[in-house]
Amino acid sequence: MTDTKTPKSTTVTAGILLIGDELLSGRTQDTNLATIATFLAPLGVQVSEARILSDDAETITSTVRTFSDRYDYVFTTGGIGPTHDDITADCIARAFDLGISEREDALAILRPLYEGRDFNAARRRMARIPDGASLIANPVSKAPGFQTRNVFTLAGVPRIMKGMLADIAHRIEGGDEVHQISVATTNVGEGDVAAGLSTIAGAHPDVSIGSYPWFKDGHRGINFVARGLDEGQLNVVRLEIEALIDSLVCVGRA
């Protein structure tokens, strides 16, 4: 039995915290958000909010606490390495008023990695785990992540973070899967479709409909994306969007 919140409805939500000054400075481009969202979608978990946080202990601690209360699941990435600015583990412990110390099961994973080398205090930092947390396996670099209540704390390096997700799926109690359809068109602008799209959206309040314009080589167009729980309703929305596009094209030819 895992220590997570029991979802109260078919809608299960997640918040994502991307931690690191390097993300805010622009030196590092984040890809973890897309990876986690793609991983969660077929499990029936909808990402409701994501934030990028600096390496500031108070900010991390307070935001983890807020997200844990607000969402069914929380994912953090970054800040669990061996250097002085890797403070996420301490912040997670503080957010839940827990102690933190080197864990023997984490040390047992790390020791073989440094056989014949100095398993120094910095490297041992990666075995500091909040009290009561369960380890998350790391098949790439071995240093474990951990789960504290409904918060999953993962590495920041994308390849390592993605590998850790394999040990999380069985811990998730998801809701209904969100389905998605897309419709693409060319030579149509958002101003052309605004009124018609508003009518479609109003007729289908349970479907999220977005329009995303593109411009390339002197051409323009729109990608329409609709998301919802009912595949039948999404197919109706698809037909209505296609009919809207056809009506605009016909007007343009007249």
Q: Where in the chain is the domain with CATH 3.30.70.260?
A: 179-253
For 236-250, write each residue's pLDDT tens digit: 999 999 999 998 876
Question: Which range has the worst mean pLDDT, 46-60, 106-120, 165-179?
Answer: 106-120
- CA nearest 234: which of 195, 185, 181, 156? 181
Q: Where in the chain is the domain with CATH 3.40.980.10?
A: 12-171
CATH number of 12-171: 3.40.980.10
- CA nearest 72: which of 133, 143, 154, 10? 10
The pairing of strands 12-19 and 45-53 is parallel
In the sheet where 219-228 sits, what is the strand order? 179-186, 219-228, 208-216
pTM value? 0.84
Distance CA(76)–CA(47), nearest Å, equals: 13
The strand pairing partners of 135, in sequence order, are 146
For domain 179-253, the CATH superfamily is ACT domain (3.30.70.260)
For 3-41, write each residue's pLDDT tens digit: 444 434 478 999 999 999 999 999 999 999 999 999 999
